[in-house]
Amino acid sequence: MAAYKRVLLKLSGEALMGDDSYGINRQTIERMVAEVSEVSASGVELAVVIGGGNIFRGIAPGAAGMDRATADYMGMMATVMNALALQDAFRRAGVEARVQSALNIEQVVEPYIRPKAIRYLEEGKIVIFAAGTGNPFFTTDTAAALRGSEIGAEVVLKATKVDGIYTADPNKDPTATRYETISFNEAISKNLEVMDATAFALCRDQKLPIRVFSINKPGALNRAVAGENEGTLVHM
């Protein structure tokens, strides 16, 4: 039985790449959709905030020296592209999903409207939040913390390529150990990179726990939603 009724899944754009250098790997997105669909079918209300790094990475050399605000708006558009791809993958899997964007692109996706997003969740639909917060200088981590707080999520599930938070970089230090749980204050004092500072502070202030886990680990999402010891739980 799921430990949470409503969750916010933060999915990086890089997670969609699989082994590719950029773009969307079809097998990877289909596997993720299958896992998310299984969680949704169990009765958990699930929203997704998706990044755009996989698409933006493909044009990164051309963005060198670009004005930061302009580059950030380009990144927001990349998240919309990823959200549409994810919605289409859900459609092909027979799952209803709605995309809401912080930028107004009404010919393509719905604008973000909080009451409508909550209604969709209550109806059992998956809601994909695109375009970050709609503002430059804020990351999709901050969007995840903000949207999670707005919709009343019980936890932010941050899906990464690493199965939790470690005492050091496990790829560089073989002696690094994984934290099963850690407090917000301890993570700050140890300068552990959980989310960017704005997002992390918002989750702490709203008492919104974060669970960091590997999206590449089979069954990890199910175990995280069930409240099992998967990845690392950051809490008050």
51 belongs to an annotated ligand binding site? no
137 belongs to an annotated ligand binding site? yes
135 belongs to an annotated ligand binding site? yes
Task: Give the separation between CA 89 and CA 28, rounded to whole angstroms.
Answer: 11
13 belongs to an annotated ligand binding site? yes
10 belongs to an annotated ligand binding site? yes
42 belongs to an annotated ligand binding site? no
181 belongs to an annotated ligand binding site? no
Q: Is 200 left (phi over 0), alpha (psi -120 to 50) or beta?
A: alpha
139 belongs to an annotated ligand binding site? yes
160 belongs to an annotated ligand binding site? yes
56 belongs to an annotated ligand binding site? no
88 belongs to an annotated ligand binding site? no
67 belongs to an annotated ligand binding site? no
Task: Give the separation between CA 52 and CA 49, rounded to whole angstroms.
Answer: 10
Residue 137 and residue 165 in contact, taking contact as beta carbons nearer than 8 Å: no
Burial of 123 (0-12, 13-18, 19+ CB in 10 A): exposed
133 belongs to an annotated ligand binding site? yes
Tokens of 188: 């700050």
70 belongs to an annotated ligand binding site? no
136 belongs to an annotated ligand binding site? yes
Binding-site sequence positions for ATP: 10-13, 53, 57, 160, 166, 169
Annotated binding site for UMP: 52, 72, 133-140
**Residues annotated in the binding site, as ranges?**
10-13, 52-53, 57, 72, 133-140, 160, 166, 169
